[in-house]
């Protein structure tokens, strides 16, 4: 594993900066207004959160006014404790995640003391607007997708959108056990409904992308669920699914995902049935 470290914040659009936090190469955002600045995502530990905070304050030239978290995964969320004295925004489900076995396991794996972790002190269910002076940032939950509580940060006057892990550029999207395959495309549609030819989309990991990248990745995410739904409707069982399907991502992505996909379809009552022969 790489050492935890933080690249310098670099300008992406007007007054919008990104730094890359290791070891997960997560994009950390900084949006600067005339009166205050907002940090988007907090890195993988309280210590890294402190590094992010110091670097952001130097670049911003105005005080940090708030912080936002795109979702509960450790590489985005675990640094939040370093911002405990500021208004912090995130989906209301983040608080439930704090004591969950999944999160405790992540903390143990990262060598982070779970009792140091903090939930946002301004949780919300749908949307919030943050005024930074001369510009606003809109935080929106477009429904379940990569997790149950993904939040997108939109900077309208810079035509820039932080997508969190709803979109990823450095590799395929991360289909973890907490993703919602059926809903994910419509959450991405929330983003794509806002973009034009000049919009800069900053994914959770990797370089900034344009709308065509977003359209294409949305189509692939949608195709995973669509393909599994098709196979189930034809009576194909889980153990035969990989061979029987046509897949929009490589085997290393699809194979571990298939049990979860079958499970999510089964929860909707869609299970492979063996059709009786016609007499």
3-state secondary structure of 222: helix
Nearer to Zn ion, 171 or 259 (CB): 171
> Candidates 10-18, 58-66, 125-133, 160-168 — which segment interacts with Zn ion by CB under 5 A?
160-168
Closest distance to Zn ion from the beta carbon of 165 (Å): 4
As a whole number of Å, the CA-based R_g of the chain is 20
- Number of residues this chain uses to bind Zn ion (CB under 5 A): 2
Q: Which residues pair with 261 in a beta bridge?
A: none
Closest distance to Zn ion from the beta carbon of 162 (Å): 13
* Contact call for residue 205 and Zn ion (CB under 5 A): no
Nearer to Zn ion, 102 or 131 (CB): 102
User: In the stretch 68-87, what mask flags binding to Zn ion with x, by CB under 5 A?
Assistant: -----x--------------
Nearer to Zn ion, 106 or 165 (CB): 165
Closest distance to Zn ion from the beta carbon of 164 (Å): 7
Q: How is residue 45 written in tokens? A: 């530990």
Nearer to Zn ion, 65 or 208 (CB): 208
* Contact call for residue 165 and Zn ion (CB under 5 A): yes
What are φ and ψ of residue 185, in 5° steps? -55, -40
Closest distance to Zn ion from the beta carbon of 101 (Å): 17
Q: Which residues fall within 8 angstroms of residue 231, CB to CB, at 6 or more apart?
A: 241, 244, 245, 272
* Contact call for residue 41 and Zn ion (CB under 5 A): no
Sign of CA dihedral 185, 187, 188, 189: positive
CA angle 149, 150, 155 (to 5 degrees): 140
Closest distance to Zn ion from the beta carbon of 123 (Å): 18
Nearer to Zn ion, 73 or 211 (CB): 73
C-alpha dist (Å) from residue 129 to 52, 67, 76, 132, 242: 22, 12, 20, 10, 44
Neighbour-count burial for 151-174, b at 16+ CB within 10 Å, e otherwise:
bbbbbeebbbbbbbbbbbbeeebe
Contact yes or no for 187/140 (Cβ under 8 A): no
> Candidates 26-34, 94-102, 128-136, 165-173 — which segment interacts with Zn ion by CB under 5 A?
165-173
- Rounded to whole angstroms, the Cα distance separating 138 from 142 reads 12
Nearer to Zn ion, 73 or 91 (CB): 73
Closest distance to Zn ion from the beta carbon of 71 (Å): 6
Nearer to Zn ion, 206 or 245 (CB): 206
Q: How is residue 197 written in tokens? A: 């030819």
Closest distance to Zn ion from the beta carbon of 268 (Å): 24
Q: Which residues bind to Zn ion, rule: CB under 5 A?
A: 73, 165
């Amino acid at each position: 594993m790489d050492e935890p470290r933080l690249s310098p914040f670099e300008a992406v659009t007007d007054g919008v900066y990104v730094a890359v936090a290791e070891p997960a190469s997560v994009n950390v955002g900084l949006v600067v207004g005339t009166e205050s600045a907002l940090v988007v995502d907090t890195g993988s530990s309280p210590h890294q959160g402190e590094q992010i905070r110091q670097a952001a304050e130097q670049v911003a030239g105005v005080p940090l006014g708030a912080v936002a978290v795109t979702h509960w995964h450790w590489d985005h969320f675990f640094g939040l404790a370093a911002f405990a004295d500021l208004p912090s925004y995130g989906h209301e489900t983040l608080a439930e995640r704090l004591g969950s076995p999944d999160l405790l396991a992540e903390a143990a794996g990262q060598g982070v003391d779970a009792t140091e972790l903090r939930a946002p002190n301004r949780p919300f269910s749908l949307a919030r607007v943050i005024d930074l002076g001369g510009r606003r940032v809109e935080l929106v939950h477009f429904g379940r997708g990569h997790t149950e509580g993904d939040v997108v940060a939109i900077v309208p006057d810079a035509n820039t959108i932080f997508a969190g892990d709803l979109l990823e550029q450095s590799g395929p999207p991360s289909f973890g056990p907490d993703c919602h395959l059926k809903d994910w495309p419509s959450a991405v549609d929330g983003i794509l409904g806002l973009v034009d030819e000049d919009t800069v989309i900053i994914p959770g990991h990797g370089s900034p992308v344009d709308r065509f990248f977003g359209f294409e990745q949305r189509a692939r995410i949608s195709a995973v669920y669509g393909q599994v739904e098709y196979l189930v409707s034809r009576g194909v069982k889980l153990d035969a699914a990989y061979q029987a399907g046509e897949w929009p991502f490589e085997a290393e992505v699809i194979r571990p995902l298939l049990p979860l996909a079958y499970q999510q379809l089964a929860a909707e009552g869609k299970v492979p049935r063996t059709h009786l022969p016609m007499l």
